[in-house]
Amino acid sequence: MPKYLGKLAVLYQGLGDIEPYQQLATRLAVPLHQSLDAGIQEEFFLAWRDGCLKLLDKELLKKGGLTVDVAPRAGEQRSWPAPKDGALSQALGRKTKTVVDATTGWGQDSLHIFRMGYEVTCIERSPVMAELLADGFARLAQEDWMQRLNLQAPKLLAGNSINLLANLEQAPDCIYLDPMFPPKRKKSALPKKSMTILRDLLGDDDDKEQLFAAAMAATGKRVVVKSPDHAEPLGEPNASFSGKLLRYDVYLKG
């Protein structure tokens, strides 16, 4: 049973065509609400706002909600491809061309990798996140620079990577993993709202070891695992590159 059942509803507040909302509620098998009265049980909502599909909790209902943000990050070069610099591209490897992100989430790492010019395929097992990603990638495809350069948005596969990685048509140069690790007990910095909402909706990813084994079996050359700097590595990495409060562990295929 999906973890979001009972916690999530689609919310239509009278703006625009109701049909996409009905279809989304049917695809996810969740209720469709047309107002927020006191009796509503769910804590999370999906709704289109400002042309984007957004995930909201009760706190975000007024503030606006979370969406797959397809704009380059602050400080990132806006031309395509952006330079391959920083710890992430060092971990992906100089010769890497194709990357499968097997834990796509909000797509921020995938999109960063895509903007550096790698060919990216995305896998996400949460049907809710897959809906948000499909909406984001459709918006990305409409961006002027994407059209001008005749680029396709990353391919999105909805399902569990533990199964899907075994059936890839071609082994990618790199499989990238960023599973959800349990939070540190003594909190030093507040995690981002987008990550806390993901944890509240989906829980931790307790099958990281299985996913790591599936990635090592399916990759052509390497697996990169992003983890908080306090977390134990999933295996014995061949190299590690440190970023801000995080680490990219690199495992080369023997």
Q: Which residues bind ligand SAM (CB under 6 A)?
A: 102-103, 105-109, 123-126, 129, 160-162, 178-180, 198, 202, 205, 211
**Comparison of 33 and 177: residue with beta carbon closer to ligand SAM:** 177
* Conformation bin of residue 10: beta by default, left when phi > 0, alpha when psi is -120 to 50: beta
Q: How far is the CB of 63 from ligand SAM (least distance, A)?
A: 20
Cβ distance to ligand SAM smaller for residue 64 or 228: 228
Identity of the residue, 33 or 178, whose beta carbon is nearer to ligand SAM in the bound complex: 178
**Minimum CB separation from ligand SAM for residue 97, in Å?**
20
Residue sitting closest to ligand SAM (CB): 105
Q: Nearer to ligand SAM by C-beta: 24 or 162?
A: 162
Token duo for residue 88: 């992430």
Contact 102, 172 (CB under 8 A): no
Residue 202 Cβ, how far from ligand SAM at the closest point, in Å? 5
Contact indicator for 61, 40 with CB cutoff of 8 Å: no
- Reference 245, options 203, 187, 177; nearest CA is 187
Q: How far apart are CA 129 and CA 40, in angstroms?
A: 22
Least separation in angstroms between CB 231 and ligand SAM = 12
Q: Which is nearer to ligand SAM, 179 or 237 (CB)?
A: 179
Nearer to ligand SAM, 12 or 114 (CB): 114
User: Cβ 194 to ligand SAM, closest distance in Å?
Assistant: 7
CB of 159 to ligand SAM, least distance (A): 7
Query: With contact defined as beta carbons under 8 Å apart, do 101 and 179 qualify?
Result: no
